[in-house]
Structure 1
Amino acid sequence: MIYEMTVQVRVTDMQEGQRWYETLLNRTPDFIPHDGFAEWELIPGCWLQVAEGTPTPNSGPIRLGVEDIGREKERLSSLLGTKRFDIHEREEVPVKWATFQDPWGNGIGMFEYHSKSEMQARIQSLFGKKK
């Protein structure tokens, strides 16, 4: 039985990396066990670890579900200078999505459900509440 997961990205400058991911996630880390390492629990049981080290070429993308991908594109372009954040959609796919890279080459992505009721159902199934 799998009950929890972690995903790790590596950055060459931990101070800059932590600051970049704090801006991306709109909050400080949930856990910093030691120098060179920070963790965010994104949803219950799903952790993103940022570790100082050599980035893995072409890693990811880690895709994050968001309420409004257009608003996130504007926010991240303004605050982090993200580039190549093109939003895609296909008729047969229930979400629109985008992929970009952090400054260390790690793939990051976002997606937004076309159906707000489907998004609400997912939020309720994960958190037991409506957003």
Structure 2
Amino acid sequence: MQISAIYANLCCTNIQRSARWFETLFNRDPDRKPMPGLLEGRHRNGCGFQLYEDAEGAGDGTVQLIVKDVRSEHERLRGIGPGQVELGGDRMVLRLRDPDGNLVMLTEERGA
């Protein structure tokens, strides 16, 4: 199998409400709305994110995003409820919960 891209996917109960939250998280609007109830954002190096309206699957997901500076993201995201920056080993982690309770982890690899 030759993979050209990979997308993380989280489910939500209300696409409009969750879209606003993720627009704040990613600091941008989605790139595409390929079908009703689905939003996509394309990122660098073949990575992407999908938000799908599906009440049954909402709240059970986890996505980890590797960022360059967790502390600056913590400051920028104060309005959407970030936890405290956690230090552990060779990384710093910031945990957030989207409106449905899905876990979003921002991770900075220290010394990388």
Structure-1-length-normalised TM-score = 0.74
Unaligned runs of 5+ in 1: 119-131
Separation of aligned partners in 2, 1:21 and 1:86: 19
The residue identity in structure 2 corresponding to 1:95 is R
Report how far residue 59 of structure 1 moved. 1.9
Report how far residue 20 of structure 1 moved. 1.1
Which is bigger in relative contact order (C-alpha 8 A, separation at least 6)? 2
- Matched residue SS, 1:44: helix
The residue identity in structure 2 corresponding to 1:86 is Q
- Matched residue SS, 2:60: coil
**Match of residue 18 from structure 1:** 19
**Match of residue 59 from structure 1:** 61
* Aligned ranges 1:25-104 → 2 under 5 Å: 25-54=26-55, 55-60=57-62, 62-78=63-79, 80=80, 82-83=81-82, 85-90=83-88, 93-104=89-100
Deviation digits for residues 72-129 of structure 1 (CA, Å, limit 9, x no counterpart): 1122113x2x14x122222xx32211222101011100011222xx2xxxxxxxxxxx
Report how far residue 42 of structure 1 moved. 2.6
Name the one with the larger helix percent: 1
Report how far residue 35 of structure 1 moved. 2.2
Separation of aligned partners in 1, 2:58 and 2:23: 21
Percent of pairs with identical residues: 28
- Residues 12 and 59 of structure 2 are in contact (CA less than 8 Å); yes or no, is this contact kept in structure 1? no
The residue identity in structure 2 corresponding to 1:87 is V
Separation of aligned partners in 2, 1:75 and 1:58: 25
Unaligned runs of 5+ in 2: none
Matched, 1:107 2:103: yes
Structure-2-length-normalised TM-score = 0.85
Change (3 A) 1:105 1:87: same
